[in-house]
Structure 1
Amino acid sequence: MTESTHAISGLVIHRLIRAAEGPSQVELRPAANPLDEPAARLMERLCRHFAERPGKGYGWFEKDERGFPMPRLVREHAIEERMDFTTLSKEMVALLQTCVDEDKVDDGGYVLIARATVFGADCLYVALLQETLGTVIGDGLSIQDSPHLDFPALQVAGRIDISAWQAGAERYISFLKGRGDVAGWFKRFLGCSDVVIALKETKKLVETLSHFA
């Protein structure tokens, strides 16, 4: 990613906590994260892994906004400007929590929500990131455990192209299909209806995302 091809206007990390039994809980960050170099690197890694991951699904918003609130939330934030980014992110996490609890999804994690302009396209990203344990060399060449975000194992992520949506494009939502039934509950969260596209068009979309990374 370079300054000439992208601009991040908002990024926040919340946390979805899954208990052994009962409903999930959320830990909300009160305000958006600073748009500093670590945030830019984090966004770069997300976009790279999202672009390189095969087996994506594509679609558009469902028309039933009562049953699928995402288009209303995005419109109130990005089009009508009646909802700020932090409020949008909290509303999205609440919706994600509902979908996770309804489907009894096992995994929680860190919920990354970001808005960025990519090659002139205004996009909203959301991803559920897991943590894994790595190894670092510390003082005196000591060996130490170090937890970090597990991007290679990313299974839950989506992208809403707000510009394409407003332009009346046929498809403007893309998401990782993941393992098992991941795509089902996450599609419902995104308010996404599937569309089958030709292989040529799939490659074109992947190449566009790859340029971002």
Structure 2
Amino acid sequence: MTITTEHAIIHEIAQDGQGQMRCRLRPQPLLNRQAVDTMLDELHQSYSSKAGKGFGFFGTHTEDGEANEAFSQALTQYRNGDLGFVEFSSNASQLLQEELSKYDFSQGGFLLLSCYTHMASDYLFVALLSAKSSMTVLDDMELSQNNHLDLNNIQLAARIDLTEWQADKESRKYISFIRGRAGRKVADFFLDFMGCVEGINTKAQNKSLMHAVEDFVSSSELTKDERQECRNRVFDYCTERANEGTDIEVKDLADELADQGAESFYDFAANGRYELDDEFPADKASLRQLKKFSGTGGGVTLSFDGGHLGERVIYDPVSDTILIKGVPANLKDQLDRRMKGE
């Protein structure tokens, strides 16, 4: 178990007979501690490793800001001891119900709120869960249909780093959230009920880091193998941070590369050209370019390990061609059979 659960509760938001959204509030926290700890530990691990999350902070969307500050105000009261957890969660559920009532597309769901501690940081996890139907076989070999929470397909979830929120008022990334499959707008209503504003472009920061790393190794007097080793170190460090759910720290990364040339990577990256923050979340999709080259276009998809460039894979920018030495066996078999058929 990697987390310590303080409180957890589930409320239901669903349509009534007239099609209006209504809350069904639970009057006390969840009592089955073993089941709660197991579920939240699983959710924490899967959420931390999920790629493509957005990051933000409590802000306002409306001119007066009153509606959007209700969640953060209630959370402040809870953290100050002026509001109990059940009362806070009930307020949050009603805020989400009001937000959902503005839209026609939502069927509601089960709102999970949980406060827990992981590695000396306090978190609030907020997720709107859906129920999924499944079939099971009873003792008498009869079929029975059951509903269970779909924990493997969570699309509406956010996690607030309560420790960072209260310690650093200038932070713009203490709230993380899952981006919708079709982009952030799919989850706008979920962020709006919390008053969350996107505060940092994680993908842009990671791409700037990748550019800085490439420029750094290109400008240093390293061999081809040493350059790839440098990229591998960056990839391993950033991937580890992504899996842990912690930020990339440019100074720490520079220490990892301390023996890769005379110039400090931290000084190199801080020259203003890359516009890098000292700390920012990792984005796994952006990190892959340290290991692989890939692209799709015109009916052709190509991907290969970066270490093969200049050896098995020869790129000629003048003629706009790529020569591959040693065609993969399964591809070679397909090509040979096609050639024989023609």
Q: Secondary structure of 1:41's partner?
A: helix
TM-score (norm 1): 0.86
Higher relative contact order (CA 8 A, sep 6+): 1
Residue in 2 that maps onto 1:164: 164
TM-score (norm 2): 0.55
Between 1:95-104 and 1:20-29, the stretch displaced more is: 20-29
Conserved? CA contact 1:156–1:176, under 8 Å: yes
Indicate whether 1:14 and 2:19 are aligned: no
Root-mean-square deviation (CA, aligned residues, Å) is 2.4
Extract unaligned runs of 5+ from structure 1: none
Residue in 1 that maps onto 2:86: 86
Deviation, 1:73, is 1.2
Deviation, 1:43, is 1.3
2:177 to 162, 175, 178: 175
Distance 1:119 1:146, change over 3 A: same
Residue in 2 that maps onto 1:208: 244
Indicate whether 1:196 and 2:201 are aligned: yes
Relative to total residues, which structure has the larger strand share, 1 or 2? 1
Residue in 1 that maps onto 2:136: 136
Q: Distance in 2 between matches of 1:208 and 1:32?
A: 28
The residue type paired with residue 29 of structure 2 is A
Q: Distance in 2 between matches of 1:25 and 1:70?
A: 18
Residue in 1 that maps onto 2:327: none
Distance 1:17 1:205, change over 3 A: farther
Greater Rg over alpha carbons, structure: 2
The residue type paired with residue 190 of structure 1 is M
Deviation, 1:75, is 0.8
Between 1:30-39 and 1:88-97, the stretch displaced more is: 30-39
Deviation, 1:24, is 0.1
Q: Distance in 2 between matches of 1:96 and 1:60?
A: 18
Deviation, 1:189, is 1.3
Q: Secondary structure of 1:107's partner?
A: coil
Q: Distance in 1 between matches of 2:37 and 2:24?
A: 22
The residue type paired with residue 66 of structure 1 is E
Aligned residues: 206
Aligned sequence identity (%): 26
Residue in 1 that maps onto 2:45: 48
Extract unaligned runs of 5+ from structure 2: 210-236, 247-342
Deviation, 1:121, is 0.8
Between 1:96-105 and 1:58-67, the stretch displaced more is: 58-67
Q: Secondary structure of 1:124's partner?
A: strand
Deviation, 1:19, is 4.6
Deviation, 1:31, is 1.0
Q: CA deviation digits over 1:73-116, x for unaligned, max 9?
A: 111111x2100100000000011111111233422111111000
